[in-house]
Amino acid sequence: MSELAAAEHGHDHYDPEANKLGFWLFLFTELLLFGTMFIAFAMYQDMYKIEFIEGTHHQNIILGTVNTIVLLTSSLTMALAIQALRRGLKTLSIAYMAFTIVCSAGFCVIKFIEWSAKYHKGIFLLNENMDTLPKGEQVYYGLYFTMTGFHAFHVLVGALLIIWVMVAVAKGKVHAKRLSFIDNVGLFWHLVDLVWIFLFPLFYLIR
Amino acid sequence: MSEDKSEHIMPVIGYVGIWLCLIFLTGVTVAVSFVDMQNLTLFTALFVATIKSTLVLLYFMHLRHDQPIIFYMILACLGSYAVFVILTYSDYLYR
Amino acid sequence: MNPDSKNFYEVARGLTSWLFTTDHKRIGILYLICVMTFFVIAALLGITIRLELFSSNSEAGGSLLGGGEIYNRILTLHGVIMIFLFIIPAIPGVFGNFFLPIMIGAEDVSFPRINLLSWYCYIIGAALALFAILSGAIDTGWTFYVPYSAKTGANLILPLSAAYMLGWSSILTGINFIVTVHRLRAKEMKMFRMPLFVWASYATGWIQVIATPVVGITLILLLLERFLGIGIFDPTKGGDPILYQHMFWIYSHPAVYVMVLPAMGVVSEIIPTFSRKTIFGYSFIAWSTMAIAAIGSLVWAHHMFTSGMADESRILFSFLTFFVAVPSAVKIFNWLATMYKGSIHLEPPMIFGLIFVLLFSIGGFTGLMNGTLSIDIHIHDTAFVVGHFHYTMFGGVGVMFFGALLYWFPKMFGRNYNKKIIYLCGFLFFVGFNMLYGTMKWLGIQGMPRRYADYVPEYEFWNRVATVGSWVMVGGLFLMIFHLLYSVFKGSKAEDNPWEGTTLEWQTTSPPPLVNFNEPPQIPEKPYDYPEEVKS
């Protein structure tokens, strides 16, 4: 066993380019995952133009805009955290990441406020009031809760990953010569941002 | 093969500049949505979103300075996705 | 070669050395054991289906299985196991894992631990799928079409999560292959010096990465539809059930190329080796592999011609479907041209390669019939379709799985098998196969529907022929499997290069050492380059 372990340890080369390539391929699966839901959105938007505009009018555009800015800012600080670590500034990098996590928490709180406002209006999944709405609006809200729900789930996972990489940076496992982990977490975080860049106008701004 | 190469490092000011562009474009797209443009609304919203996502891809995700293979792979991925959308839409367009 | 060096079996022993291995060769062997087990189970289920169809119940004797429900469950079980647990993982999981790194001169895949994870995803998915089908009747068929699947009382969580896990197993394998090809090629191994099996695995990896997530999210949306009523597929809430079919087939049609491309890759290895001749049109085959992967993603809606799609769209998809035949035909002609004036050695793997070319061509032609809109309306959901996809999937992929096993058996296990027994098995298989699926096509044109447990007496004669054919075919296959199993332990020692192959795996010992090569391999200028003296 030990001989095998020793020999297999030899397989464990650190190859940042391979790690990056592999992670991008994983991101493609994420893109297609959201992309499929965007296909559904596009087809129903085409079928129910008026109902979708009616649904958009029930969105809180201020909260949506604030959330967009929060997420864009968190994306900036994540990029800066990686840039700082690349220059060898460990503490600064950790501080940037901490700020990123605060932003992601802020995003989730605002999302929660929006969802609960809808909940109190009787607009929520499994709510009987939903059945009284026109067909297209039901699909609009179904898509809204599904897609923003999936996105919020990715924000949470991303935040957990950032906490994990923060610990790794603090322990010195991730440093200027071994950036793959933090690079890939950063890519994931930017992807979450990318998805929101499309979700926001489609659900809030097509009036 | 064994450690990260010292590749191009974009200065902090560059990142902040991109961020400002993104915020500005967000403002634009929100402001435009209050103007009644009929069918152009969807188009402008998607157009601005595409510009924003390109900025994020090129600078935050470092595609600009990465090995070109990743760029081509993304093109392949987005190309297949575009095909999925267009061919699915061919059904909804005529139904 | 260093005679003292241990092969990869000998470096460690015991169950944990297998279950926690990150060696790509061991993971390949793990896949082989699972895939073979599931194949035998599913083949027995197939025999049971044919037994039920041996006679028309309306005459006398009654149903063998005592009713349609058990028949439906066996039918679903046969399909699910064969598709998800055998064909999709078979060639990439076993031979891709084992030989892709060796063929490009690498020590392992890029992410060995993720490779192991993909095997565990497969095992978990397999367990969930089997448990789901055995614990209760799935009455939706393997396609889970809405709106029925959103309403049925059957428990769909287990089968859907099983499909999801198996999807991840497939994606992880795909990611690993793509990155390995890009990053771990030996220095002189340029992209266009790679063996064609590597090209095929590479293209397969791309389909797995791009298409599988689509079906993944579709299945999740279906679960959300069932439990949260999101309304995306529910017509009472404004949803469109045909959208589900689009999303489902966006993956599930390219999935057939996930199955067949690696098989074509194996043929492209076997035919030049046993013709002792450089492959004809290497770059054409490489590009046609990528072309199949690309065009195969454009044709999914030919599964939905009778679903109520728009006419214009149906014509478009029928038109696009014909294009897939072009790169497939390019490959077939190139293989034939490779054999022309070659020094053909009819060893067992070559026999299976030839069986593939013949059966897959027949399957391809009937595929064109299915893809023709007007004909498809007539033969949709008949036994003809069943005959067609068994010719491509079993006559193509299944045959090539065994062809690959026979080709690489000496390398994988360091043992030889008895060629005469294999010739007999190949003959039985070929005769039985055509009796079984050829008659199915004939029955389908006459109008016999698929999936039914019973039929009118007029169809009885040809159904009996098919059932007898199934015994001959499975008899041949099982004889081969048992003989190979016997040879793993009792066969005579194999040489390093019994077939005079030119690809890198034949330069190392049989079986290979843990690091694949004791000495750095010689990378040939061109793959499949035979010197003059070998040709004659």
Task: Please tell me whether residue B28 adopts helix, strand or coil conformation.
Answer: helix
Residue range(s) defining the domain that contains residue C403 = 24-266+380-511+520-535
> For B14-61, how does the pLDDT look when each residue is reduced to its tens digit (9 = 90+)?
999 999 999 999 999 999 988 877 778 888 999 999 999 999 999 999
Burial of B89 (0-12, 13-18, 19+ CB in 10 A): middle
State how many domains chain C has: 1
Average pLDDT taken over every residue of chain C: 91
| pLDDT score recorded for residue A11 | 45
Give tens-digit pLDDT for A108-127. Answer: 999 999 999 999 988 888 88
Q: Is C492 helix (H, G, I), strand (E, B) or coil?
A: coil
Residue C85, both tokens? 């647990």
| Per-residue pLDDT tens digits for C59-84 | 545 567 767 778 888 888 898 889 99
Q: Minimal Cα–Cα distance from A64 to chain C, Å? A: 22
Mean pLDDT across C9-27 = 91
Q: How far, in Å, CA of C249 to CA of C255, rounded?
A: 9
- The string of pLDDT tens digits covering residues C507-529 is 999 899 999 998 888 888 888 88
Retrieve residue C127's tokens.
């367990």
Closest approach of chain B CAs to the CA of C341, in angstroms? Answer: 40
B79 vs A contacts (CB less than 8 Å): none
Question: Which residues from A are below 8 Å from C218, CB to CB?
Answer: 36
C238, A139: Cβ pair inside 8 Å?
yes
Q: What sign has the CA pseudo-torsion B59, B62, B67, B71?
A: negative
pLDDT at C201 (0 to 100): 96
- Give the residue from A1, A3, A25, A41 with the most C CB atoms within 10 Å of its CB, the best one to mutate: A25
pLDDT at C58: 56
Using an 8 Å CB-CB cutoff, list chain B residues near A47.
92
Which of B64, B60, B53, B54 lies closest to B16 in space, CA to CA? B60
**Closest to A206 (Cβ–Cβ): which among B5, B42, B88?**
B42
pLDDT digits (tens, 9 = 90+) for C34-65: 999 999 999 999 999 999 888 887 554 556 77
Interface pTM, i.e. ipTM: 0.92
**Closest by Cβ to B49, choosing from A21, A39, A198:** A198
pLDDT tier, C1 (very low <50, low <70, confident <90, very high otherwise): very low
pLDDT digits (tens, 9 = 90+) for B54-86: 999 999 998 888 888 999 999 999 999 999 999
Q: Which residues pair with A178 in a beta bridge?
A: A175
From chain C, the residues in CB contact with A1 under 8 A are 12, 14, 16-17
In this model, does residue C194 exceed pLDDT 60? Answer: yes
C528 domain residue, yes or no = yes
Domain ranges of chain B: 11-61, 66-95
Query: Average pLDDT of A72-96?
Result: 95
Please tell me the distance from the alpha carbon of residue C497 to that of residue C89, in angstroms, as a whole number. Answer: 27
The percent of residues in chain A predicted with pLDDT above 90, rounded, is: 79
Half-sphere exposure of A96 (CA within 13 A, CB side): 23
Token pair for C210: 């791009």
Question: Does residue C470 form part of some domain?
Answer: yes
CA dist., res. C527 & res. C505, Å (int): 12
- Asked if the Cβ–Cβ distance from C230 to A29 is below 8 Å, we say no
Identify the pLDDT of residue B4. 58
Inter-chain contact B91–C310, Cβ cutoff 8 Å?
yes
Count CB pairs under 8 A between chains B and C.
Answer: 42
Instruction: Tell me the pLDDT tens digit for each residue of C352-365.
Output: 999 999 999 999 99
Strand partners, C449: C382
State the SS3 of C47-105.
Answer: HHHHHHCCCCCCCCCCCCCCCHHHHHHHHHHHHHHHHHHHHHHHHHHHHHHHHHHHHCC
Say what the pLDDT of residue C532 is. 59
> How much is the pLDDT for A126?
84
CATH code: domain of residue C160: 1.20.210.10
Residue B1's pLDDT band (boundaries 50, 70, 90)?
A: very low
**What is the model's pLDDT at position C364?**
92
Q: b or e along C336-371 (b: 16 or more beta carbons within 10 Å of the residue's beta carbon)?
A: eebbeebebeebbbbbbbbbbbebbbbbbebbebbb
Structure tokens at C59: 């005459």
The residues, ordered by sequence, that sit 6+ positions from C445 with a Cβ below 8 Å of its Cβ are: C379, C382, C384
Residue B40 has a pLDDT of 84
* DSSP-assigned beta bridge partners for residue A175: A178
Q: What class does CATH assign to A20-205?
A: mainly alpha
Q: Rounded to whole angstroms, what are the CA distances from A157 to B57, B68, C218?
A: 20, 29, 21
What is the distance in angstroms between the Cα of A177 and the nearest Cα belonging to chain B? 5
What pLDDT, on the 0 to 100 scale, is given for residue C108? Answer: 92
Judge whether C171 and A29 are in contact, CB under 8 Å: yes
**The two three-digit tokens of residue C304, written as one number:** 């939905």
Min CA distance, A150 vs chain C (Å)?
10
Contact B1 A178 (CB under 8 A): no
* A 1-20 → B contacts, CB under 8 A: 13-17, 20
Which two structure tokens, joined as six digits, stand for C502? Answer: 């030119």
Query: What is residue A4's predicted lDDT score, i.e. its pLDDT?
Result: 43
Q: What is the pLDDT of residues C380-433, one digit of tens each?
A: 999 999 999 999 999 999 999 999 999 999 999 999 999 999 999 999 999 999
